[in-house]
Chain A
Amino acid sequence: MKITKPIYLDYQATTPCDDRVFEKMIPFFKENFGNAHSRNHVYGWYAEEAVEKSRAQIASVLKADPREIVFTSGATESNNLALKGAAYFYKDQKNHLITTLTEHKCVLDTCRYLEQNGFKITYLPVLSNGLIDLDVLEKAFTPQTGLVSIMAVNNEIGVIQPLSEIGELCREKGVLFHTDAAQAVGKIPLDVNTMNIDLLSLSGHKIYGPKGIGALYVRRKPRVRLETLIHGGGQERGFRSGTLPTPLCVGLGEACFIADQEREEENERLRSLRNRFLEKIQNALSEVYLNGDLEKRIPGNLNLSFAYVEGEGLMMGIKNLALSSGSACTSESLEPSYVLRALGVSEDLAHTSLRIGFGRFTTTQEIDEAAESIIKAVKRLREMSPLWEMAQMGVDVNSVKWAAH
């Protein structure tokens, strides 16, 4: 029996490691296995040189100085380090942080943790297109505000927040600006200086690099200080102790480099794939809703709600597609996505949403097959649905009073 692999459409959850990245990493697993911190011998020097090259590659994508890049185990650690690190370092002067309701879970959970430990947090609402309202942000500042954390690109709905405007506002108020850019590298141009970003988190496995590696950009001028989470050998200028995983560092650098080099071309290709997909869906199905702004969005993401179908049934009907209905971290629970709820999407529609992520290895054929599968599944479920039937007959389903049972 030939096992057919499902079509992978979950590029916001994770991405396959690019062969070009992979090839660069391999020698550092075995032949050049030295500890980058071993200053005593050639194995260590060679590893160190590779790590420093990677650091420079990452810095160059962000228009930063290599000395401003701190390697971590991934974006979750970067976000924790940025938020807890800054909050605790500056706690005697400032105790208020601003974030949004649609951040990645690790930012929201870190904020909740800080709240339990005496900090004040403002969770900004977002507009129905998923973007923040800059006026609302401006009003949220208090003299106690020490840090604003707003993600660059949302992991569920792909919308791009106005980083430059946020950065300008933060700089004006003398407040640190952190952005979770895990989904942004290689998708949008980033420049920590023109955007006035003080702290920026990124991740390897979201950009065709390996899992288990990420970085935090920490501004040097004016210097941003952080309380350390992991003490020890004092690696990474004391921000983050622990032996650096040389091959993973090399992978992250190369992944950043490729993603940035190919950004424009790749965005163009993905945009045309996405338009093709969306067109097919919209031509075949009515009552499909796009969650999040279409224009201010990375081209590799769609988040669609299909009215009058049942979420679990829909997932069962498209077993040949690997995609998710909500963020991967939380999709083991059946709670509707908090991001969609923040957009004001009704619970029913949130339950029937699919996050469709396209990426570097997505082909036109896959797009066509995926669209066909989804169309087929939605049509079949709607045929079986009494609600759909009622809606077709012109009944407002929301006005129906259901009998208890």
Chain B
Amino acid sequence: MEKTTLLKLKMPSSQRLIYLDYNSSAPLGKGVKEAICSALDHVGNPSSVHQSGKKAKAVINKTREILSDYLDVPSQNLIFTSGGTESNALALRGIDADVFFVSAIEHASVLQTAQHHPNSGFQKIPVNSQGIVDLEALTSLLKSADGKKVLVSVMMANNESGVIEPISEIRKIVHAYGALMHVDAAQALGKIPISREDLKVDLMSFSGHKIGAPMGVGALYVREGLSFRGLYEGGGQERRFRSGTENVSGIAGFGKAVENIDFSKWEAIKSHRLFLESTLREKFSDLFIASDRVSRLPNTTLMSRPSLPSSTQVIQLDLEGICVSSGASCSSGVVKSFSVLKAMGVSQEIVSSVIRVSLGPETGREDIERFMTVYSHIQGKS
């Protein structure tokens, strides 16, 4: 209850806070709010045949074109959803697979959908100590499932460690065994390029709010000709794959956010991150950084040194106006600790002190310096 009182007293203005939790959610991008507002100002159900309806439909189709141009896939193969979680659920439930093979570091929405599927089997694909999917293990799983309909799900970039998986290499193996492949690209979109080669997979999920679109919107790419069914019955919107009146304002914002994608900004982000990592490494010889020897998202550092519990560090940082994360911000109630590290075989000592710092286009070098000062202080070194 203390928390609520605190908030009512003062909500610190965003200027005074240093936000380093971009992988959890990104603030709206330039022009996105305007796009949302103009869509909200307009009345009309996209399924109605009259002018008002057609205009709402046009908003949706415009975003579809933008995303289709950006990804270089046919626009009719993109379905709008309520976000990354729904896209993942739709992808896995839409395929009538006998068995799911999902990497051990998938987002809960993939892991649990696979696990709880009423009629399908489920197995995790292990990852190595850097968090990369074990291709040999995948191959033997695929061999063992001979004759069964298999869907493999591997994320493009991990939300916790930022590790980037070799998607096209994995896809080649998966397709060689006649299996289907889904990729959760929620964290990858906008942070790293997604190539045509990557999009040779069968299904790919995207989330809006991770790239500066509002929460409540996402998309799923479904390869042409794939035998697929939707999750909801109803009006048959989105080529029958996703019934329900579309989130028009969210979709409008999503389009703008995709238009805003600009990798030149990410060079600066990457150099900030490298600065952060090298400076802290010099200071703390025992600093652990996850997936530090493989390609990673330019903005993500999952780091730890055996010291205080993660949550204590996060609270101390927060008191200093710095927002970082100590666990996947999914479950309401308890914050679950990062599960990726366990799958990578990292010791419990390291796991219990881990925090994730994820930068964004608005992060400045002075923010990094301030973070390091506070972090060092918390670690007992100033």
Does A90 lie at the interface of the complex (its beta carbon under 8 Å from any beta carbon of B)?
no
Contact check, A76 vs B232: say whether CB atoms are below 8 A apart: yes
Asked whether, in the complex, the Cβ of A244 is within 8 Å of the Cβ of B330, the reply is no
State the Cβ distance, B53 to closest chain A Cβ, in Å. Answer: 7
Q: Which residues of the partner chain B approach A60 to less than 8 Å between Cβ atoms?
A: none
A74/B245 in contact, CB under 8 A: yes
**A329 interface residue (CB < 8 Å to B):** yes
Q: Which of A40, A43, A110, A323 counts the most B-chain CB atoms under 10 A from its CB?
A: A40
Chain B residue with Cβ nearest A321:
B50
Interface string of A192-235 (1 = CB under 8 A from B): 00000000000101000011110000000000000011111111
Q: Which residue of A lies closest to B322 (CB)?
A: A41
When the two chains form their complex, are residues A38 and B7 in contact, meaning their CB atoms are under 8 A apart? Answer: no
Contact between A231 and B49 (Cβ–Cβ < 8 Å)?
Answer: no
The tally of CB-CB contacts under 8 A between chains A and B is: 290
B14 contacts chain A at the CB level, 8 A cutoff: yes
- Pick from A22-30, A129-137, A295-303, A367-375 the stretch touching chain B: A22-30
- Tell whether, in the assembled complex, residue B27 and residue A243 are in contact, meaning their CB atoms are under 8 Å apart: no
Known: A34-B25, A245-B215. Contact between A328 and B45, CB under 8 A? yes
Q: Which of A42, A106, A330 contacts B232 (CB 8 A)?
A: A106
B273–chain A nearest beta-carbon distance, Å: 19
On whether the beta carbons of B14 and A76 are closer than 8 Å, the reply is no
Interface residues on A, range: 35 or more
> Is B331 a contact partner of A234 (Cβ separation < 8 A)?
yes
Docked complex Cα distance between A245 and B82 (Å): 9
Q: Give, as a whole number of angstroms, the nearest-CB distance from B257 to chain A.
A: 12
Question: With the chains together, A316 CA to B42 CA distance in Å?
Answer: 23
Judged by a CB distance under 8 angstroms, whether A35 is at the interface is: yes
Contacts of A110 in B (CB 8 A): 232-234
Q: Are A33 and B25 in contact (CB under 8 A)?
A: yes
Q: Are A231 and B108 in contact (CB under 8 A)?
A: yes
Q: Which residues of B sit under 8 angstroms from A322, Cβ to Cβ?
A: 44, 48, 50-53
A46 is an interface residue with CB less than 8 A from chain B: yes
List of B residues within 8 angstroms of A245 by Cβ: 82-83, 209, 214-217, 247, 250
Does A112 sit at the interface, judged by CB under 8 A?
A: yes
- Verify if A344 is at the interface (C-beta below 8 Å from B): no
Smallest beta-carbon distance A4→chain B, Å: 11
- Whether A105 sits at the interface, judged by CB under 8 Å, is yes
Given the known inter-chain contacts A88-B118, A231-B108, A248-B247, please indicate yes or no for A13 contacting B53, CB distance below 8 A: yes
Contact A248 B215 (CB under 8 A): yes
B160 in the interface (beta carbon within 8 A): no
CA distance A26 to B214 in the complex (A): 11
Query: Cβ of B215 and Cβ of A43 under 8 Å apart?
Result: no
Smallest Cβ-Cβ distance to B217: which chain A residue: A212
In the complex, A236 Cα to B331 Cα: how many Å?
A: 9
Selected from A41, A88, A109, the residue in CB contact (under 8 A) with B314 is A41
Q: Mark B202-239, 1 if CB is under 8 A from A, else 0.
A: 00000101000011110000000000000111111100
Q: How far is the CA of A37 from the CA of B107 in the complex (A)?
A: 15
Interchain CB contact under 8 A, B89 and A212: no
Closest CB in chain B relative to A288 CB, distance in Å: 21
A120 to B32, CA, bound (A): 47
Q: How far is the CA of A62 from the CA of B93 in the complex (A)?
A: 32
A349 CA to B108 CA in the complex, in Å? Answer: 52
Contacts of B44 in A (CB 8 A): 8, 10, 13-14, 322
The reply to whether the CB of B143 lies closer than 8 angstroms to some CB of chain A is: no
Find residues 73-104 in chain A having any chain B CB closer than 8 Å to their own CB.
Answer: 73-77, 79-80, 88, 104
- For window 323-350 of B, CB contacts with A under 8 Å fall at 323-333, 335
Which A residues are in CB contact (< 8 Å) with B243?
A: 76, 80, 106, 109
> Is residue B3 within 8 Å, beta carbon to beta carbon, of the partner chain?
yes
Q: Which of A17, A232, A321, A328 contacts B107 (CB 8 A)?
A: A232
Chain B hits for A332, CB < 8 A:
47, 49
Which residue of A13, A39, A231, A243 contacts B112 across the interface (Cβ within 8 Å)? A231
A31→B82 contact, CB < 8 A: no
Give Cα A329 to B52, complex, Å.
Answer: 14
By the criterion CB–CB under 8 Å, are B329 and A10 in contact? no
With A46-B7, A212-B217, A230-B89: A40-B325 Cβ-Cβ less than 8 Å: yes
- 6 interchain pairs, CB-CB under 8 A: A14-B44, A17-B43, A75-B244, A76-B235, A110-B234, A113-B233
Given contacts A30-B28, A233-B85, 13 further A-B contacts (CB under 8 A): A14-B56, A42-B17, A42-B318, A76-B243, A88-B118, A112-B233, A205-B45, A210-B40, A212-B217, A212-B245, A234-B108, A321-B50, A328-B49
Which A-B residue pairs are the 3 nearest by beta carbons?
A212-B247, A233-B330, A245-B216
